[in-house]
Structure 1
């Protein structure tokens, strides 16, 4: 998405295949999206060729900032080959010129846990990737959820239980890992006629559901942004959202926040959104003005240029 947006602004962008022979010295900046293995070797090697390294660390925390700081700062030793991807980030942090974060929560973890000064951190939210919806027609009274449905952090089992308890229509779409996971999901749904499992969707069908669903629910236990919810908001859905972590930052009070560990809060939040509404169409207008690809990629371009002068 960022490649396409930057190219529309006249920049030349290459998606790198590290198996190819690439002259990294020719680039104004090298942007790395990483919070995993090999970051230590990658940044160390690249920094010898190009000093303008930009790192988007992708931190979706499931532990306190104090625990993360211990993991980053002390938990490992590259000399003894006892390191891990947390400590690897610490060892290369001074070789990164600019850190890109998606939220204020992520900014805090980079600033506090990695001890990166604020003037080396820039917040660039993610933009929605779907085409603008235009005028939305009449919505249907059902709640939509789209995700990797068997991922524990997506909290689908509590969403299903809330649908059973409160009786609202729920449509579940997305990928499951294998046949066992699919059967487990169907077992959770049981004989509930108000819950429908749709499986994986084409892009066209996904956009049709965004247009028709009155509510989109994302009661995740751990989430960095929640892109499907942002897309749904741009298509006029009321959003019922986890109160944990960074996703709520994107909505400026225009989403119904729920405790994702409470089936009743999830159910009552969705019931409220279906029966009374909450912030649409103001939310649609807010998301379209704040998180459209043109605005975000212009911000990204300006951040990189200003920090790498």
Structure 2
């Protein structure tokens, strides 16, 4: 199949560790490894949509306004929508906002735009059952049109020798709690994480993409109060692999997570995981993680303490290897494409 992947142009200059961009990149590479052609679509290199079997767009909303019109040019191909809905709002509020965005051509809402794009795509692919329920019950899209394709993770282990080299270079302790994210986003809840772990006396290492502002100021203030908190900033992939291998616990207590890709990567390196209960993580981590209410500092603290006291989780790595690789994700994605293309072909004949 010839497949086009389309993401919002803001990814070109935004957060370099964006999880959606990572998902698109890893799925594209895995699809190519399966023998498919994947074109990373960009506005500087026009492509004829009619030449593609599949065009899949990620996130949607106003960043890809009118993208649903591509479907008219794809006589034989299909338009696929991969929404990214990171929200804990009740579904009825989403329904109201979606309805408001369809009352008049000059009245817009983000859920209304997502609904329009979903209804005018051939299939909607979600990252979890939570997201699927949001699309079906919150946006009012037929369940028959919505599929769940789980993301995957890399299984390459950097090895203890590499982890030791990273530890020495960054002057880290032997064992630590790790967090990796765009950690100045309020949704990542890193200030509460620092408040939870600081009094425990466990070393807390925070890495990722940061922007100036109140969250960063609060975090630095907590790092001054609790000397075992280290804020490293952005690191390359090799350094992150070393951090994953060396950490004892990985904690991602976000207000909402679609998947928790960084937590999956840490788990693939043997770390015990503490993660938010909100959103998609239960589909990925099952019984292999400690789940927390992100609004409770006490729950986060207790879960980190519990995870710290457990042996490293080798069983979960075996589960990931069998079920949650990017190859598995690409196989499932290609299966959805194939069924949808066959259905469209049958409908045309």
Same fold (TM over 0.5): yes
Secondary structure of 1:216's partner?
A: strand
Bigger shift: 19-28 or 135-144? 135-144
Q: CA 1:204 to 1:93, structure 2 compared with 1: closer, same or farther past 3 Å?
A: closer
Q: Which residue of 2 aligns with 1:288?
A: 321
Contact 1:55 1:99 in 2 (8 A): yes
Q: Which residue of 2 aligns with 1:12?
A: 37
Q: Which moved more, 1:140-149 or 1:130-139?
A: 130-139
Matches within 5 A, 1:184-263: 184-263=218-297
Counting only pairs closer than 5 Å after superposition, residues 267-278 of structure 1 correspond to structure 2 as: 267-277=301-311
Where does the alignment leave 5 or more consecutive residues of structure 1 unmatched?
Answer: none
Deviation for aligned residue 1:141: 3.0
Cα gap change, 1:272 to 1:93, in 2 (>3 Å)? closer
Name the Cα RMSD after superposition: 2.2
The secondary structure found in structure 1 opposite 2:38 is coil
Partners of 1:241 and 1:260 lie apart in 2 by 9
CA contact (8 A) 1:77 1:87 kept: no
Structure 2 Cα separation of the partners of residues 218 and 113 of structure 1? 26
Selected match of 2:61 from 11, 33, 36: 36
Cα distance in 2, alignment partners of residues 169 and 71 from structure 1:
43
Q: Distance in 2 between matches of 1:13 and 1:276?
A: 42
Aligned residues of 2:60 and 2:117 also touching (Cα < 8 A): no
**Structure 2 partner of 1:178:** 212
- Give the Cα separation in 2 of the matches to 1:38 and 1:152: 21
Partner of 2:341: 308
- Aligned-partner SS, 1:13: strand
Residue pair 2:118, 2:124 contacting (<8 A) in 1 also = no
Residues in 2 aligned to 1:34 and 1:175: alpha-carbon distance in whole angstroms: 20
Q: 1:48 aligns with which of 47, 61, 72?
A: 72
Cα displacement (A) at 1:271: 1.1
Of residues 50, 72, 75, the one that matches 2:98 is 72
Give the whole-Å Cα distance in 1 for the aligned partners of 2:136 and 2:232. 41
In structure 2, what is the Cα distance between the partners aligned to 1:276 and 1:42?
48
Instruction: Report SS of the residue matched to 1:163.
Output: helix
Deviation at 1:40, TM superposition (A): 4.5
Q: Which residue of 2 aligns with 1:111?
A: 136
Instruction: Report if aligned partners of 2:198, 2:204 keep a CA contact under 8 Å in 1.
Output: no
* TM-score after normalising by structure 1: 0.91
Say how many residue pairs are matched: 305
How far does residue 161 in structure 1 lie from its aligned partner after superposition? 0.9
TM-aligned CA distance change 1:184 to 1:14, over 3 Å = same
Query: 2:145 is matched with which residue: 120, 132, 138?
Result: 120
Report if aligned partners of 2:155, 2:269 keep a CA contact under 8 Å in 1: no
Matched position secondary structure for 1:125: coil
TM-score normalised by structure 2 residue count: 0.81
Q: Distance in 1 between matches of 2:129 and 2:266?
A: 22
SS state of the match for residue 205, structure 1?
helix
SS of the counterpart of 2:94? Answer: helix
From the two aligned structures, give the one with the greater helix fraction.
2
What SS is found at the alignment partner of 2:62?
Answer: coil
Q: CA deviation at 1:31?
A: 0.6
Question: What are the ranges of 5 or more consecutive residues in structure 2 without an aligned counterpart?
Answer: 1-25, 165-173, 343-349
The separation in 2 between residues aligned to 1:123 and 1:282, in whole angstroms, is 25
Pair 1:106–1:21, CA change in 2 (3 A): same
Aligned mates of 2:130, 2:316 — CA distance in 1: 22
